[in-house]
Amino acid sequence: MRFVNYIIGLLLAAFYTSAPLMANNNKNDEFETLMEKIRNDFAQNPLIDETLNKYDAGKGCFTDVDYSRRDRTNWEPLIHINRLYDFAFAYTNPQNTYYQNEDIYNKIVKGLEYWYERNPHCNNWWYNQIAEPQKIGILLIQMRIGKKQIPSELETKTLQRIRKDGGHPAKWTGANQTDIALHWIYRSCLEKNATDLKTALDNAYSPIEYTVKEGFQHDNSYFQHGVQLYIGGYGDEILKGITQVAMYTQGTQYALSAEKIRILSKFMRGTYYQTIRGKHMLFDVLGRGISRKNITDKSATTLFAKRMIVLDPEHTDEYKAIISRLKGEQPADYKLQPLHTHYFRGDYTLHVRPGYTFDVRMVSTRTMRCEYGNGENLKTYFMSDGCTNIATQGNEYANILPVWNWCRIPGTTAPQLDTIPMAASDWQTRGTSTFAGGVSDSIYGVSAYAYTDNYAGVNTGAKKAWFFFDNEVVCLGAGINSTSHAPIYTTINQCLLNDKNILVSQNKKQTVIKKGEFTYDSPDWALHNGIGYIFPQGGRIYLNNEQQTGSWYDINHTESKEMQHREVFTLGFDHGTTPHNATYAYIIAPGITSAQQMDAYNKKSPVEILVNTDSMQIVRHKKLNIWQMVFYREGTFTHKEMTVKVDKACTLMLKGSRRDNAELHIADPAQKQSRIKVDVCIPKISKDTRSILCDFENTGIYAGASKKYILYKKQ
């Protein structure tokens, strides 16, 4: 298989670089060579018999298309262009039954005339300025190699309209800028317009830079629609467009620069593909696209990785491993390396281990809640409030969304309302927390979220923290208060019932759970689908094991109303109605498959939960000798092995506390850009208190980034 992938890489490279542009010799050759690459990129041999039966030869339209529709999603008139596009490839492909068919040619011409005269318009600008002009541009490029070409007058007026109505890429940002630049490239080649081609390419590559606006962020995350996390969705779109253009210009004067390839490579390898487990992307980085069927399946993104083998050969082995996982040729853990990243710009934490992936999505006054525009993602409200994914194979949440209880999104603490609230704005609603962030050393870390929400009857707050190690994630909640009329639940997980053998241990007695709803008072642990859930501080636990129903239409009005049925596993804490200073604690332990392993882990757990209050949450991992701490305000933590005092809120991590090279890692989730004084005394190393002034002043966009200090240096 490695050899096959190697050959594919060589063929891709040969294909895209076999005809370098001769910019200094013959301008026409530049345009023709680019168009040839574009044709090869979209080459297909379509079946068109069925759609031919729907074509009205007298008018040049299709009888089953309502050209007056202006819907913001699934815009029906675009079907017309998509079908003419297929006709063009049928007409120009020697392998197709309709190759050089005069009747097909006439249908294409008459269809383009009809489109020009009818000039359908969508209420969603994206169709008018991206989808339609891109498809028409490729169609016209393809017809240039036909036995007969599109009449010059028709082609010219069509291109003129694309230029007039298709928008200017410089007026947009991120993926939208690149997508508009693409049809500028198509049109420039057809018109042999060197000036517009340069403008198009400059704009196509312009988004490949770090920005505080929409686009690639300095923490290696991606924003679109304001300061909203969009690693998937618009992240998909920009990678598709940029790698596409980069392959066209590979080996030419317009080739993507080494620095821009570095930025692109870092995002793809360090963020984008890290959020994909097996072939499924974590649901909370997909934006409103989460409400679309099969959206988590990213197997098609092998295309981006294959292109990067050509563009970024230094990391060929990584891309080949990515491709193997996406195609299912290798298991989900294949060649995954331990990684922990807190995205301080995106209020997002990603923890990757070979055996599992765990993430946390938060929102603050610096970022936007997950959107619900265009009638999509209609129940998303709690998605941004400490939502978590727990994935081993990657398919744990595949197409579960229509049947989800959206008050029980994994990781969240929320009232069990009859109707899910909708944020004040469908597109851009900022969060309300001023304390959301985490500290990381790139392998381990702790994240914290001071959740508070008084909107639409939610009226709930909590101090939530996640402590990340190798074989477990410790999840703590404290200061849970609510005046909502509904019971408050903290959901641990709500996923597909992939393993129907659910075990629960209470008072060291194990029970196999049948279908239904169950409640437990302080059970020891639960086990489902190779993931252990441990309750070290007890609590009232609910567990559901039953079929749930719903439709895609319930969450996305562009999708089907057909009822969906899924077997679902749900686990969480019931804090009751109007809780006051309630708490929770649970440990996620992936990779455990039996009751014996659960009991063994529980008996010799390396994790100590030392403090869980609304002022501080502290966990120690004895085996790793790592102390992770969240201070929500100034305070002092005292233990026989150390004392830590801080004068401001922060998250910090102490490593190597038994050695004289102890490290302090610290971050400010409030991003106040001030100095934080930390006093540490570790008697086994020194009886003297070590005072460190952690300076976050003038850190600007890096205000939430982690800093490292050496507490004690070797003599």
**Residue 451, exposed/middle/buried by CB under 10 A (0-12, 13-18, 19+)?**
buried
- Contact (CB, 8 A) for 81 and 139: yes
Of 91, 234, 584, 586, the active-site residue reads 234
620: part of which helix (H) or strand (E)? strand 616-621
Query: How buried is residue 60: exposed, middle or buried, by Cβ count under 10 Å (0-12/13-18/19+)?
Result: buried
State the sign of the Cα–Cα–Cα–Cα dihedral 182, 183, 187, 193. Answer: negative
What is the per-residue pLDDT across 545-558, written as a single tens digit (0 to 9) for each?
999 999 999 999 99
Q: What is the DSSP letter of 447?
A: E
pLDDT in tens, 231-267: 999 999 999 999 999 999 998 888 999 999 999 999 9
pLDDT given for residue 714 in this prediction: 61
For the chain, percent helix, then strand, then coil, each to nearest 5?
30, 30, 40
Q: What is the pLDDT of residue 659?
A: 72
Active-site position among 288, 345, 351, 528: 288
pLDDT, position 17: 41
> How far out from the chain centre does Cα 24 lie?
42
What average pLDDT score do residues 165-169 get?
96
225 is annotated as an active-site residue: yes
Residue 51 CB neighbour total at 10 angstroms? 17
Please give the pLDDT value at position 95: 97
The rounded distance, in Å, linking the Cα atoms of 586 and 538 is 9
Q: Using the structure block, give the residue that is written with the tokens 């020194």.
A: 686
When mean pLDDT is compared across 41-45, 124-128, 206-210, 495-499, the lowest value belongs to 495-499
**Per-residue pLDDT averaged across 572-589, rounded?**
98
Q: Which residue has the higher pLDDT, 14 or 210?
A: 210
Residue 657 token pair: 């506390």
H helix intervals, 233-301: 234-249, 258-267
Give the alpha-carbon dihedral of 51, 291, 473, 451, to 10 degrees.
160
Is 485 marked active-site?
Answer: no
Higher pLDDT pick, 8 / 494: 494
| The two three-digit tokens of residue 40, written as one number | 């090869």
Q: What is the pLDDT of residue 137?
A: 98
Q: What is the pLDDT of residues 432-476, one digit of tens each?
A: 999 999 999 999 999 999 999 999 999 999 999 999 999 999 999
The residues, any chain, with a CB within 8 Å of residue 17's CB and separated by 6 or more, are 250, 251, 310
Task: Flag whether pLDDT at 15 surpasses 80.
Answer: no
For residue 638, how far is the Cα from the chain centroid?
39
CATH number of 341-710: 2.70.98.10
Sign of the torsion formed by the C-alpha atoms of 240, 242, 245 and 249 = negative
CA 280 to chain CA centroid, nearest Å: 10
The pTM of the full predicted model, rounded to 2 decimals, is: 0.91
Report the candidate in 631, 398, 595, 392 with the shortest Cα–Cα distance to residue 503: 595
234 classed as catalytic: yes
CA distance 157 to 113: 10
Angle of helix 234-249 versus helix 27-42 axis, rounded to 10: 130
Q: Which of 225, 342, 366, 575 is catalytic?
A: 225
